[in-house]
Amino acid sequence: MAGVTGFAFALIAAAVWLHILTPLQTASLTIGYGLLVQGYGFWKMRHAFDWSRVWPYIAGGAPGVAIGINVLRWANPAYMRAGIAAFLVIYSIYGLTRPALKPVRAGPAADVAIGFLSGALGAMAGFPGIIIVIWCGMRGWTRDVQRGVFQPVSVAMLGMSAIGLGVTGSIALNTVYLFLIGLPALALGTWAGFQLYGKIDDEVFRKIVLWLLLAAGAFLLISLW
């Protein structure tokens, strides 16, 4: 589904992996796979890339990643994921039931703040795109514009997170083996998702995003039981 919407891979995968892997292994895998998925998505959507929209998120995301990596070492992952899950469920239900509202108008300062939160969340859990996905939807942008923003930003933040984990020696050899085993399935799923993307309009895209957010939040809550 990441090929269709540009996100949700890490959330859904983490909900399963947390039953059998450590939080650090889960974060490492979601960051590694996310780099490939988002990198491919960015290349496919490069026609929609606009640096003037992207730079505030990256500027805010860099310090967020640095803080997130440090928090990952001591934070209770169960509390962190419970908070994320509750937020996703509440937001998605609201988005699916509410009437259409006017797009939010905001400047670079607000985008920098969103980037900071996304960077911290990306480093702690491998979910850098979720907050930006929600924010882009609130701005009222079309699906191509949204993906032209959150996919390159996700690539940048995931790259910074991967470097941070590598520098701190947090990536174990067995995690690398698991990463290699999952590559074929990742490639097939991403390709199939992009084949579906060209067949949906903006409203269908919005609803798919919200339903995936709801499913991801529910999966995360279930994984904590």
DSSP string, the chain: -HHHHS--HHHHHHHHHTTTS-HHHHHHHHHHHHHHHHHHHHHHTGGG--HHHHHHHHHHHHHHHHHHHHHHHHS-HHHHHHHHHHHHHHHHHHHHHSPP-PPPP--HHHHHHHHHHHHHHHHHHS-TTHHHHHHHHHHT--HHHHHHHHHHHHHHHHHHHHHHHHHTT---HHHHHHHHHHHHHHHHHHHHHHHHHTT--HHHHHHHHHHHHHHHHHHHHHHT-
Percent of the chain clearing pLDDT 70 (strictly above): 76
**pLDDT at 43 > cutoff 60:** yes
pLDDT, greater one: 59 or 211? 59
Mean pLDDT lowest for which of 44-58, 65-79, 109-123, 147-161?
65-79
Q: Can you give the pTM of this predicted structure?
A: 0.66
**pLDDT at 14 > cutoff 70:** no
